[in-house]
Structure 1
Amino acid sequence: MTTDTEEPSLTIDELAARAGVTVRTVRFYGTKGLLPPPVIGPRRVGHYGREHLARLALIEELQHQGMTLAAIERYLQQLPPDLTAHDLAIHRAVVASWAPDVVETVTRAELERRAGRALGDEDVERLAAMGVVAAADDVYRIDSGLLRLGVQLLDVPLSQEAILAARTALIEHSRAAAHELSQLLRGEVAERDAGAVRSLSAHMQPIVVQALLTTFQRSLREELREWLDDRPADGMSEAGGSA
């Protein structure tokens, strides 16, 4: 596992397998400028990092939205060149929010291909508890918009109860925010025709989602900073306990 600051560690074959595409596709994207070049290591072997994997996931999401390769190329050209894997994941989340909820029925093999990894029975049970997967008769109904997030949560060192509680809190607060924003927009378009309402909604949705992501990230950083500042230093807590 790597972080955004660590050296790339994936070969082109490993990158293609993790992203669920072919090596030929990775090379093609590279020639089109959709992927930055790999870092050349010993024996002139190219190595790829998390940014490449995140960019492939973003390209896949843009394709799901029906964008042509030329449109995807223009979209990516507008992004800052130094985006981290985390930044690209945020862009993908914003793009995914444009689409309606999509529930698909797939086989176990296709589920694992979409997940980008092998899934044990316990993994599938956790995904089902999160509402991402529903299994019946060797077929799986998946929420495509939540699958990648659910798979990432499999590696988070939190209990299932904590993850479900966090999911409930996010849903409740998101619905409350959506309701308030909806009321504001309704006030703005009350006298307009239906076409104007749809146009405004389509224009505002990605902006609102990006704003929510940004404000949530900042709020979470502030909460964590306050929590860490309030914790006593290791030495001080021990000294206080022995006094």
Structure 2
Amino acid sequence: MNPIGQQSGGAGRRGERGTADDHPGTEEPTLTVDELAARAGVTVRTVRFYSTRGLLPPPAIGPRRVGHYGPEHLSRLALIEQLQRHGMTLSAIERYLSQLPPDLSEDDLALHRALVASWGPDAPEETTREQLDRRAGRELTEEDIDRLAALDALERTDDPDRFRIDPKVLHLGLRLLDVPIEMETIRTAHAVVLEHTRSAARELSRLFRDEVWGPERDHESGSGPERMQAKKSLSAHMQPLVVEALVIAFQRSMKHELRAWYGQDAD
């Protein structure tokens, strides 16, 4: 995630995070530029470079003119990283981000990142325990590693200090570490999500194969490699649209369930 040839890492101090008590009136912890860089896995210079290009909103200025960054900055950095993974140049990323509303929340940015992630195949990476700690902003415990593994955000290797990670899921997994949910509940929720998304994928694939493509399109596309390429092209075009439709439908369904649970004040 580095457009200027630097090594990722940053100079953040592990485990030294701001809290709401440090900054009255805020509900979320605030991060210095060093801490933000460490959590995002980039250098401070990269953060400042993105800021000068307008890719990051300005920080809140605290005492002694120190800038403080919030979760929305971290989510925006994660979105920039995902866009770069798909080969977008900085100019293209600038155009993409300029079309987004300026007041997008952390959750809204996470949804955009999920949609962008659907553009391409999975690309597992390897990382060290130290790099994971930097991303988390603190030293991870074995229980934390177990939670991330349960979410399929990482996989252990033969080396206890190295892990295979899914970049698409890691950012979400790290956000869930401090949510007070039991491990068994996480596993159950994960199983529910997998079961229903796989079922939806199977049904949509069947519909796509039988109704959208069908024998007529098979005939029009010729045979052999040409037919396969035509199918891949149509699939690649439809995939992000289908993912976006699923996300919107799930948001609406979840809002309906929350209203039933909490009452009309759920909004």
TM-score between both structures, scaled by the size of structure 2: 0.77
2:195 aligns to what? 172
State the shift of 1:114 in Å: 4.7
- 1:48-85, CA deviations, whole angstroms, 9 ceiling, x for partnerless residues? 22221111111111112221111111111111222111
Asked if residue 14 in structure 1 is aligned to residue 35 in structure 2, the reply is yes
Asked if residue 60 in structure 1 is aligned to residue 93 in structure 2, the reply is no
In structure 2, give the amino acid aligned to 1:178.
A
Distance in 1, matches of 2:170 and 2:94, equals 25
Unaligned stretches of 5+ residues in structure 1: 231-243
| Among 130, 152, 164, the residue aligned to 2:151 | 130
| 1:8–1:103 distance in 2 versus 1, CA, 3 Å | closer
| Among 192, 213, 217, the residue aligned to 1:189 | 213
2:47 aligns to what? 26
- 1:90-146, CA deviations, whole angstroms, 9 ceiling, x for partnerless residues? 101111122212223333223334555421122112222333333223232223322
Give me the identity figure in percent: 62
Structure 1: which 4+ aligned runs deviate by more than 6 Å?
none
Greater percentage in helix: 1
TM-score between both structures, scaled by the size of structure 1: 0.84
2:183 aligns to what? 160
In structure 2, give the amino acid aligned to 1:156.
V
2:130 aligns to what? 109
Distance in 1, matches of 2:128 and 2:30, equals 30
1:144 aligns to what? 167
Distance in 2, matches of 1:87 and 1:141, equals 27
Q: What is the aligned length?
A: 228
Which secondary structure does the structure 1 equivalent of 2:196 belong to?
A: helix
Which secondary structure does the structure 2 equivalent of 1:171 belong to?
A: helix
State the shift of 1:163 in Å: 0.9
Moved more, 140-149 or 173-182: 140-149
CA contact (8 A) 1:115 1:147 kept: no
State the shift of 1:30 in Å: 0.9
- 1:12-61, CA deviations, whole angstroms, 9 ceiling, x for partnerless residues? 22222222211111111111111112223333322222221111111111
2:14 aligns to what? none
Distance in 2, matches of 1:39 and 1:114, equals 21
| 1:221–1:163 distance in 2 versus 1, CA, 3 Å | same
Asked if residue 227 in structure 1 is aligned to residue 251 in structure 2, the reply is no
1:238 aligns to what? none
CA contact (8 A) 1:8 1:47 kept: no
Asked if residue 73 in structure 1 is aligned to residue 94 in structure 2, the reply is yes
State the shift of 1:88 in Å: 0.6
CA contact (8 A) 1:19 1:116 kept: no
CA contact (8 A) 1:51 1:84 kept: yes
Unaligned stretches of 5+ residues in structure 2: 1-18, 21-25, 222-227
CA contact (8 A) 2:59 2:68 kept: yes
- Over aligned residue pairs, what C-alpha RMSD do you find? 2.3
